[in-house]
Amino acid sequence: MTELEMAEEQMQQLRSKAKEHLLREEWEDSILAYSHFINLCQDQISNTQHHLDPENLSKLHKSLCLGLSNRAEARSRLREFDEALKDCEQSLKIESTHFKTLLCKGKILLNLNRYSMALDCFKTALLDPQANENAESLNGYLEKCKKLEFLSRTGGFDLSDWIVNKYRGKSPELAEYIGAVQIRKSVISGRGLFATKNIDAGTLVLVTKAIATERGILPSEDSGENAQLVMWKNFIDKVTSSIAKCPRTCYLINTLSIGEDEDVLEVPDISLFRPEAEEERRDLDKKLDMASILNILDVNSLVEDAVSAKVLGRNSDYYGVGLWVLASFINHACSPNARRLHVGDYVMVHVSRDVKAGEEITFAYHDVLLPLDKRREMSNSWGFQCNCKRCKFEEEMSEKQEIREIEIGLERGIDMGGAVYRLEECMRRCVVRGKQKGYLRASYWSAYSEAYGSQKSMKRWGQRIPAVDVVVDSLVEVMGSDERLLKALIEGLNKSSGVLDKERALKLGRGVYGKVVKKQALRTLLEIGLF
Ligand SMILES: C[S@@+](CC[C@H](N)C(=O)[O-])C[C@H]1O[C@@H](n2cnc3c(N)ncnc32)[C@H](O)[C@@H]1O
């Protein structure tokens, strides 16, 4: 047997082995075998290209092209998208219209949310004769790319049907989207996200896919602490693995705060977070050590089921944690103007009240319908102290004897209607007006909500305290919409046989869900009490 024949036989064996692994979905073994095969193929081409007849040389090129394409497929199944894309590029250099490679590359780009580049791949694949046999799936991908590209350009998402149908069926396909926002230095701390134009309540400002999420049901014993620790460890592993597989992910995570010296941090351009941003400009070699990863996750991870968030389509027993890079630039405020919806691995952030151009977009990291000391405890556990206008104002007010007495009364369980009456009287005497009234009412919301919910309390105090809609309006003005406010408004007005101003309820609903739920669907949700 000649040397050439021996090499050919070895290649033949390797190819069969690699293919077998691929069919059995043994991705790692398949990658190993294809790598070996590809090396042999490349050696063979460079050693023999001058004395091989053109037909054999072309056969070798074809084999190499297919080997690269199949290795790309196996790598993409392991979510090693970067390496898989490199294989696709090499394969397409040999045969620029190689159908299988174009299909694989298109799917990878779709996974990376690079919709228009994926669309180009599928369009080119359509020109290949093989497209006829695969017309159905190819057309499916083409339609999907077009739809997602449109959504990422316009932000025109519509979750109405899915929500009204109580999340039955597949969750809607989402795309990454960046609205009228930019990252700038913030007076709150470090960098923040800012509106670049006036934005009305309910409008989306961003939709972004998680780098990683971890979800599970927490058992009730030891308040789920152990399970939470296991989930946190799994979450860290997932983030670390994403960083190892993708330099872009590593680069983006590197832009995040570790919670210290935020004021000297660089302000990244928002365009870096667009999936289709140019790769070349980036310093993709910067590495992240484990200590930095842990600090970054500590400061930036979000729990899905927070008060300023709504998890759509999943059992409420689930506990979920995730890292959404762009959303990590949003600072906390005790009078926030944005909320988030969690759908699958995406987070959708919308403003929950009208926002002016240049205003910072903020959401609540923890419950803000609580008094100052409780809020302080929670921001301390996040590792910062909030000094927003509301906190400063309440600090002044907490010096007042009357406020102290009200707090003592609340601790001792006095009639909530009475506590509300005293607070309103105190605000009248201290000439607390406008937003500041909303701030204090928000802090003592639990007293208001209990009073409005109790027949006995309303009978005694109802005439002497402001009506529920007046209080809800003043709260919405300072902290945007909230489900609890919407519920209190509807129930309170029902009880007092007041007429529910539908437009007012719709506005509140819009603040909670954003414009991704259309008016008619929102009306249905309000009618069936599903909010
Ligand atoms: C998710 S990051 C927000 C973006 C961050 N400012 C940056 O420059 O990357 C969370 C960190 O921002 C800071 N932060 C957010 N809201 C704050 C607030 N209301 N007051 C003080 N610091 C805040 C804290 O350091 C917190 O750990």
39 closest CA partner among 5, 63, 74, 73: 63
How far apart (Å, rounded) are the C-alpha atoms in residues 499 and 493? 6
Distance (angstroms) between ligand 1 centre and the Cα of 102 equals 43
Distance (angstroms) between ligand 1 centre and the Cα of 235 equals 21
Closest ligand 1 atom number to CA of residue 260: 25
How far apart (Å, rounded) are the C-alpha atoms in residues 409 and 413? 6
DSSP state of 192: E
Q: Is the pLDDT of residue 50 over 80?
A: no
Protein residue with least CA distance to atom 21, ligand 1: 386
Domains of the chain: residue spans and CATH: 3-154 (1.25.40.10), 164-363 (2.170.270.10), 372-500 (no CATH)
**Mean per-residue pLDDT, 150-163:** 94
Backbone angles phi, psi at 120, to 5 degrees: -60, -40
Higher pLDDT, 224 or 159: 159
Distance (angstroms) between ligand 1 centre and the Cα of 348 equals 19
**Mean per-residue pLDDT, 378-403:** 92
Protein residue with least CA distance to atom 20, ligand 1: 386
**189-198: burial string, b at 16+ Cβ within 10 Å, e else:** bbbbbbbeee
Q: What is the pLDDT of residue 279?
A: 59
Closest ligand 1 atom number to CA of residue 334: 19
**Mean per-residue pLDDT, 177-206:** 97
Give SS3 for 214: strand
Closest ligand 1 atom number to CA of residue 333: 19
List strand residue ranges (DSSP E) for 202-247, in order. Answer: 204-209, 212-217
DSSP state of 416: H
Protein residue with least CA distance to atom 23, ligand 1: 189
* 3-state secondary structure string across 368-402: CCCCHHHHHHHHHHHCCCCCCHHHHHHHHHCCCHH
CA angle in degrees (0–180, nearest 5) for 160-162-167: 135
Residue to mutate (ligand 1; options 252, 257, 261, 294; most atoms within 8 A of CB): 257
Q: Is the pLDDT of residue 52 over 60?
A: yes
Higher pLDDT, 515 or 131: 515
**Residue range 60-71, pLDDT digits in tens:** 899 999 999 999
Q: Is the pLDDT of residue 502 over 90?
A: no
Q: What is the pLDDT of residue 168?
A: 86
Q: Is the pLDDT of residue 531 over 80?
A: no
247-254 vs 225-245: helix axis angle to the nearest 10? Answer: 120
Q: What is the pLDDT of residue 9?
A: 86
Closest ligand 1 atom number to CA of residue 191: 8
List strand residue ranges (DSSP E) for 38-180, in order. Answer: 177-178
Distance (angstroms) between ligand 1 centre and the Cα of 138 equals 45
Distance (angstroms) between ligand 1 centre and the Cα of 31 equals 43
Distance (angstroms) between ligand 1 centre and the Cα of 147 equals 35
Distance (angstroms) between ligand 1 centre and the Cα of 240 equals 23
Distance (angstroms) between ligand 1 centre and the Cα of 190 equals 7
Distance (angstroms) between ligand 1 centre and the Cα of 299 equals 8
107 beta partners: none
> What are 491's two structure tokens?
């129930």
Q: What is the pLDDT of residue 201?
A: 93
Protein residue with least CA distance to atom 12, ligand 1: 331
Q: What is the pLDDT of residue 283?
A: 63
Distance (angstroms) between ligand 1 centre and the Cα of 313 equals 29
What's the maximum distance between 2 C-alpha atoms anywhere in the chain? 105
Distance (angstroms) between ligand 1 centre and the Cα of 199 equals 23
207 closest CA partner among 320, 334, 77, 338: 338
How far apart (Å, rounded) are the C-alpha atoms in residues 479 and 481? 7
User: What's the start-to-end Cα distance of the chain, in Å?
Assistant: 76
Distance (angstroms) between ligand 1 centre and the Cα of 337 equals 16
Contact present, 26 and 73 (Cβ < 8 Å): no
Closest ligand 1 atom number to CA of residue 362: 16
* Amino acid letter, 419: A
Q: How confident is the model at residue 46 (pLDDT cuts 50, 70, 90)?
A: confident
Closest ligand 1 atom number to CA of residue 329: 4
Q: Is the pLDDT of residue 498 over 70?
A: no
Protein residue with least CA distance to atom 4, ligand 1: 329
Q: What is the pLDDT of residue 497?
A: 58
Lowest mean pLDDT among 48-57, 142-151, 450-459: 48-57
194 beta partners: 182, 360
Residue to mutate (ligand 1; options 253, 337, 384, 388; most atoms within 8 A of CB): 384
Residue to mutate (ligand 1; options 331, 334, 347, 372; most atoms within 8 A of CB): 331
- Summary mean pLDDT of the chain: 90
**Mean per-residue pLDDT, 188-216:** 96
Distance (angstroms) between ligand 1 centre and the Cα of 188 equals 7
Distance (angstroms) between ligand 1 centre and the Cα of 259 equals 7
Residue to mutate (ligand 1; options 208, 211, 332; most atoms within 8 A of CB): 332
Closest ligand 1 atom number to CA of residue 299: 27
Residue matched to tokens 């999943």: 314
Element (H, E) at 260: none
Protein residue with least CA distance to atom 13, ligand 1: 189
Structure pTM? 0.91
Lowest mean pLDDT among 191-195, 231-235, 301-305, 497-501: 497-501
Q: How confident is the model at residue 414 (pLDDT cuts 50, 70, 90)?
A: confident
Q: What is the pLDDT of residue 62?
A: 93
Q: How confident is the model at residue 495 (pLDDT cuts 50, 70, 90)?
A: low
Within 6 Å (CB) of ligand 1, which residues are found? 188-192, 256-257, 259, 262, 265, 299-300, 328-329, 331-333, 382-384, 386, 388
**Mean per-residue pLDDT, 410-437:** 92
Q: Is the pLDDT of residue 358 over 80?
A: yes
Q: What is the pLDDT of residue 1?
A: 63
Q: Is 254 left (phi over 0), alpha (psi -120 to 50) or beta?
A: alpha
Q: Is the pLDDT of residue 304 over 90?
A: no
How far apart (Å, rounded) are the C-alpha atoms in residues 397 and 427? 10
Q: Is the pLDDT of residue 102 over 70?
A: yes
Distance (angstroms) between ligand 1 centre and the Cα of 23 equals 48
Higher pLDDT, 52 or 22: 22
> Which positions ≥6 away from 277 have C-beta within 8 Å?
271
Residue to mutate (ligand 1; options 184, 189, 264, 295; most atoms within 8 A of CB): 189
Q: Is 366 left (phi over 0), alpha (psi -120 to 50) or beta?
A: beta
Backbone angles phi, psi at 333, to 5 degrees: -140, 150
Q: What is the pLDDT of residue 44?
A: 86
